[in-house]
Each structure stands twice: as C-alpha cells, then as structure tokens.
Amino acid sequence: MTPDLFSPLKLGAVQTPNRIFLAPLTRCRAEPGNIPCELNAEYYRQRASGGLLIAEATSVSPRGYGYPNTPGIFNDAHIAGWRKVTNAVHAAGGLIFLQLWHVGRISHPSFQPNGETPVSASAIRPRGQVFTGSAMEDYVTPRALDISEIPGIIAEYEHGARAAKAAHFDGVEIHNANGYLLDQFLRNGTNHRTDSYGGSVENRARLTLEVTQAVVDVWGADRVGIRFSPGGVFNDMHDSNPLHTFGHVLKKLEPLNLAFAHITRVTAQDIAHGAAEGIGPRELRPFYNGNIVANGGFTLESGNQALQEDWADAIAFGVPFLANPDLPERLRKNAPLNEADPSTFYASGPKGYTDYPTLRA
C-alpha cells in the first residue's frame, strides 16, 4: 500500500503516528543562560500531534552560539530546562528529537567566551551581518581550527548527545546543514584545509562521519538523524559539486542504519539567492536507501507525491507548522491554514509563538 502523510512510519527505534514532522526552527526564546523555559514547553506541547518534533538547533558548546536567546545543551541548567519541554511533549503523546548544533563561523566575538574569534574549517569570512542582540555587525574572519582541536569538537557533540539523553529526548538530529560548523567542513567553498580534514571529499566528510559515530555511540544509530542542505546557499555557502559531495557522505552513512537523513530541497527563495536548482532529496535518493525526511516548501499535495514517488519517507514542515499547531488535523481535513507572521519569528514572548489558534479554539 502506498503511504501518505497520515501513514505511520517505523523511524529507527520509534514508530511515528504520521509522517508530518515539525522541522527544527530557531525561535530565539530561551531564557538568560540559554535555558529552555515553560514558554518553550508550551510551544512544543501544542505541536505534539506531529509524527516527530525536531526541536530547534541547540548549541553543544559555549563557542557554538551565533544568535541571541538560542538554547544550549551542555550543562545541568540546560538539561533541566529541556526536561520541561520533553515532559510536556510526552504527556501530550508526542515524540521529540533534539538538534545538536555548533554555528562555527556564523557567529561574532560578542557571542564567544572572552570575546574570542569564532572558529571554522578555514579562515574565510562569510559575507553578511549578524544580529548581536543590539545591532547588526559584519561577520568577522574566523580562526581555522587546528587539527589538534578537532577531537575536542567531537567530544562536545558527544557531551551534547549525552545531555540530550539526560533531558529525556527520544533521539537527536545532528545539524550538518545551513552553513554551520559541520557544513563548513563538508563543502569545499568553506573548507580550504590541506590536512586530513580538507581537500578530497573523503577528507572533508571526515568530521561529519566522526561526529556521527560519536553520537551513535551514545544513542544507538536507530535514535540518530542527520540534516543536510545540499543545494542551499544560506550563510554564504557553496560547493563545486554538491551531488558528489553529499552523495559520498550519504553512501558512507548508509551502513550505520541511522533513523533518518533529513535533506532540504532547493526552494524558489534559494534559487533567487544563487542556489543551483535540482540538488535535494529526490536527486540524492539513489545514494541513500534509509529513511529520508524531506524539507522545503512542501504542501499536502507535494508531500504526498514525494512519498508516493519514494524519494521521501516523511516531510518536515517549518513555517506551516509554526503558524498551525494542529497542522496534521488541518491537513487531514483540508482546512484553511493560519498565515504566519514573520515579524515574530525571532522575537520574544508568546506573540507569534504560542498564540496561533487551532481549529477547535
């Protein structure tokens, strides 16, 4: 029987009730100390009818921040804060994974311990500016990580994975997308290293594979996912041959039998910013036989089509789920959707966060 968005899915160690997932969305609403709070718990609880909630990008390191009021997962206060979220989601019958994150060069000294320079694969300054909490500032040229520091980066992801387990998540997703640290190592537009972590695609994929193995050692492969944005140009990213680069890393990951690979497709907005059309989950399916979660501007119709054509096993919805806490019910009933308010995407407080109405409100 051909699945649709309302079909259950065996996703590694968990069984999801449907294939409508919440995409990880940075909302900048953590409390001081980057600690999740009751407001975050309510936001995720409201969306617990999704097949799987993938919680927002969460820093595994004090050096991993690049935005105001984003959460962390490396100390006891973070664990306690996230337990409020996981308890609320589980009480509502939901499943939730945490996305493990390090921004690398997409930061600013004002976010770094002691005002240090952000780190990356290579000392290449990204174009653009960052909001430091009070003003827009140009990105700085990052410091290339010395090869002796890389085991420490891997250890931070491992520690974050253990902390996520202590916070009672159902699993984790490794953030290897959108121009952040692991993506900076993987793509040759940002990785100009000449050591064993640079040059060939085998070397550039090394950190991704080592981090994944470290996280798998904590959780087991069947509770670990990983996210890629092969055609994305966000955060000044590019690669000379994304099909080869991402095809290679997916082939290397396949034997691990991860819960899923989460792959974004190129949207019209990406193309408008210079992305090459056509490198996404459909094109990468031949390289990966495991579960693929696809993301990027899907509707009920296009999501079902992706499932029927077998280049996706589930669909992660971002903005539609942000604005519609009961998105699965609305899609099932083909009901009108609330319109999202972009001015509140990265604001503070409940407005545009926990006040979107449900059909039954």
Question: Which residues are marked as active site?
Answer: 180
135 contacts 92 by C-beta, under 8 angstroms: no
Q: 76 Cβ partners below 8 Å, 6+ apart?
A: none
Question: What's the Cα-to-Cα distance from 309 to each of 127, 238, 287, 332, rounded to whole Å?
Answer: 38, 28, 16, 20
- Candidates 173, 48, 66, 197; CA nearest to 119 is 66
Q: Determine whether 169 is exposed, middle or buried from the number of CB atoms within 10 Å of its CB (0-12, 13-18, 19+).
A: buried
143 contacts 181 by C-beta, under 8 angstroms: no
Residue 77: CB atoms within 10 Å:
14
Place of tokens 């996280």: 215
Alpha carbon 277 to its chain centroid, in Å, reads: 21
Query: What 3-state DSSP class applies to 227?
Result: strand
CA dist., res. 150 & res. 174, Å (int): 17
Task: Give bridge partners of residue 295 from the DSSP assignment.
Answer: 264, 316
Q: What are phi and psi of 246, to 5 degrees?
A: -80, -30
Structure tokens at 264: 């974004």
Alpha carbon 61 to its chain centroid, in Å, reads: 16
